[in-house]
A and B are shown apart, each in its own frame.
Chain A
Amino acid sequence: MKEQPIPERLQISPFLVFYLVMSMQIGIGVLGYQRIIAMDAGYDAWISILFTGACVHVIVWMIYKIGETVGGDIVTAHKYVVGNFIGKAICFIFIGYFIIYCLTIVRTFIEVIQVWMFPEISTFWFSFGFMILCIYIVFGGFRTVVGTAFFGLVLPAYLLLTFGWAIKFSNFYNLLPILDHSIKELLTASYHMSLSLAGFEIIIFFYPFIKEPKKSQKWAHLAVLTTTLIYTILAIITFAYFSEDQLSRQIWASLTMWKIVEMPFVERFEYIGIANWNLIILPNVCISIWVASRLIKRVFNIRQKVGVFFVAAAVLSVISFVDTRIKINMLNKYVGKMGFAFTFIYIPLLFAAVMIAKKLKKGKNK
């Protein structure tokens, strides 16, 4: 079966990859990654962020190389390496991964809402509303999903400035002495950081939707760079604001920092922040639903609309059962591990396999 190329009117401009990648990388993780990375590497953890950022660049480069070689998305890449049937079987796992990923984001966000804003909000009904919104977005096609990513990044961008209030009460000597942790501790922190920086791997799923994908590569790298810098700067501000002991007890350090924000007409800024976070979470969920439903379409050859409904229904049917902090934490841990395995282990392996397959095919042709 020859694959149909995506018609141009459905494709996106190369620079929009910037927003897609960045909005996927920035999600619920920003609210509380500081404590997790500081657990091992202490206040040297910002070095780990930079290190992870550098690794991400390498993976992005690999993804583009794969896409360029096979001229398509991950399904095409699998077909290229192991043939149609096994390729689709492997993709089946990713459908599961993205459904669970979607579930985790929505559930964690609802937890934040329940802890900080509405203790009584119904998990099911809020996620029900959220899923309807997402279905509406995904039905608008990939361009609408990218639009959500664009607005989900641009509109809440002002929130970054609000962390400036914390600087007034910061003590940057907290960061000293630099490099008093072992390499192993730094690497563990890097591993934890990789969970927050993950999300860029979606490029391999929408690669055929980019107009002139080669031009988009620099935007993808720029996006990763920007995200890394945002995470680093925010981490440094957090480290300067909290003492190490204090930070170890803050699950959502970023939210706590908003408590200091004070304006003549607004107190308790975290309410506005969390409400706005809805906009940031939305592209995360929509993109993962889009990817999952797209994979369903590619693997089972059914309409993508059916896939979207299936994904939403799957998330809704499970979400009520994840009801305690422990379960949510467990879910996050497993998704993190899966994400790490997929991004930092599977993609390099796939890259190697594609390169070998390319060499072999070249040899055959001769």
Chain B
Amino acid sequence: MKNKRIKEDVQHKEWEKSLIKSKDFKKIFYYNQKTNVRFGLTFMATLIDENIIQDGILPNLLEEEFREIEDIKQLVPVADVQICDDPSLIEQKLLNGYVMLTVETELKHFGFIAAQKEIVRGLSQPEVEFSVIGPKEAFVESMGQNLNLIRKRLPVKELIVEEFTLGSLSKTSIAMLYMENITNEDNINTVRQRLTNVKFDAITDSSYIVQLISDNSNSPFPQLLDTERPDRVAGILAEGKIAIVVDGSPHVLITPTTLVEFFSSFEDYFLNWLLSSFFRLVRLFAVAFSILVTPIYVATLSYHYELIPKDLLSTLITSRREIPLPPILEALFLELTIELLREAGARLPTKVGQTIGIVGGIVIGTASVEAGLTSNVLLIIVALAALASFTTPVYRMGNTIRLLRFPFLFFAELWGLLGIVFCFCLLLTHLMRLTSLGRPFLEPIYPPRVTDMKDAIIRLPFEKQSKRPIFLRTKNPIRFSKKKAEEKKDIDE
């Protein structure tokens, strides 16, 4: 018998009316060679993998004995084959990359065969959270791949993956991950509630979710941690936190978080505890330095030059002797230049960006000093402050820190040192009022919890971390039994 392939016009149904306008909508009819059953395949050509149709579906349906729709479960070698009789599902299935199979004799039933085309970027190294030691895998844009990376690291049945579809237009799949036997039930419910409450049409990245489900969307501080490291996600899931994977985004969200977590790099866990504690302290110092140093310069030189010892003062005066601008304008000029360079560098391709950085840094810096617009000392200070702000391991937090400098500058100009302390009080209050998933953001500093301090400003050795963080209120607060580890030995035993 001959292989017949016919295209024909049928009466259009409701779901077809808009789809037929698209060029990639395909509807093709065939005859089975043995039973002569006429069947049709409907699909969106851009969404499906043609190889699956060519190799998996068509040969079997054309050459094997195919009589009714029920047969496809045996004939088609694809795992996801469904048969249903609800026409309202058709549109959604077609747009999710299914091939619809219809048989002339059974107009009430539709067969759906999954044939999605998966374009997955290969695994690459983490770029924002790069670490010298430790795994070099980073998340990609495919949710399936990302879930695979996480599940591989936690192969236990207690790891639950709950899926949601959000966005009236984008229909983005979002997965919420948690450990059933550890994570606090209230936290899970809150996240579930907030995700289902999201009202937005197109969710194209996890950053949308960050902004949509944050406790306080008017805060410059990120209240959800985003990471591109699967190992970090596995680590926090074991602690009892919740991870949110968004399809199409290479960043996974972590909640609830605390402020100190934004200053801890995951590399800290790969190093000896002494080293990692030292690096954490360096980072915290860098943050304080980065925020405060320019405002202090402005405050002391505008109001309190008596503060500076005589020898140092003469150095400062020499460098400022020919500057016509008051300290605040001088500082604003330089700070804005640095922001400009950073912004330009971030938008340009890497190689051009580097050039801009060097040209900007050296040429503009030197030129502005020689032109008498800024002093040498301030140039050093601003450059160091910018450098310090880049030590923050989480990119989002780094941005926040650069922004914070400006209100401090304003208050320094207004009330000198007093203004800096005043602005600090404002910042502190804001942080105290901030919550992440209803849990205090400043924990364990305030409310002070000594037991959670062991992995906050410093990180104590793993043997000391036998308990999960208190603020998560986990169902099972014990990570491992400490008794075995506690056999103390005397000298020479």
Contact = CB atoms under 8 A, between A and B. Distances in A.
Contact of A129 (B310, B422, B428): B422
A151 interface: yes
Contacts of A275: 416-418, 420-421
A70 interface: no
A271 to B, nearest CB: 5
B415 interface: yes
A257 B426 CA distance: 29
B429 A133 contact: yes
A10 B458 CA distance: 29
A136 B429 contact: yes
Contacts of A12: 447
B10 interface: no
B420 A133 contact: no
Q: Is the interface of A mostly helix, strand, loop or mixed?
A: helix
Q: Is the interface of B mostly helix, strand, loop or mixed?
A: helix
Interface string B419-431: 0111011101110
Interface stretch (B18-26, B109-117, B217-225, B299-307): B299-307
Contacts of B447: 12-13, 16, 143, 147
B421 A276 contact: yes
Interface in A287-326: none
Given A275-B421, A278-B418, A140 B307 contact: no
**Residue of B303, B422, B425, B432 most packed against chain A (CB within 10 A):** B425
Interface in B384-430: 415-418, 420-422, 424-426, 428-430
Contacts of B309: 264-267
A118 B418 contact: yes
A117 interface: yes
Interface string A131-150: 00100110010011001101
B312 interface: yes
Given A121-B415, A126-B415, A278-B421, A148 B429 contact: yes
Contacts of A279: 421, 424-425
B307 A136 contact: no
A148 B418 contact: no
Interface string B298-337: 0000011011111010000000000000000000000000
B433 A282 contact: no
B306 A117 contact: no
A268 B304 contact: yes
A144 B417 contact: no
B421 A265 contact: no
Contact of A118 (B416, B424, B425, B446): B416
Contacts of B418: 113, 117-118, 274-275, 278
A275 B433 CA distance: 23
B442 to A, nearest CB: 8
A295 B442 CA distance: 29
B425 A272 contact: no
Contacts of B425: 133, 148, 278-279, 282
A341 B447 CA distance: 34
Nearest to B434: A140
Contacts of B422: 129-130, 133, 278
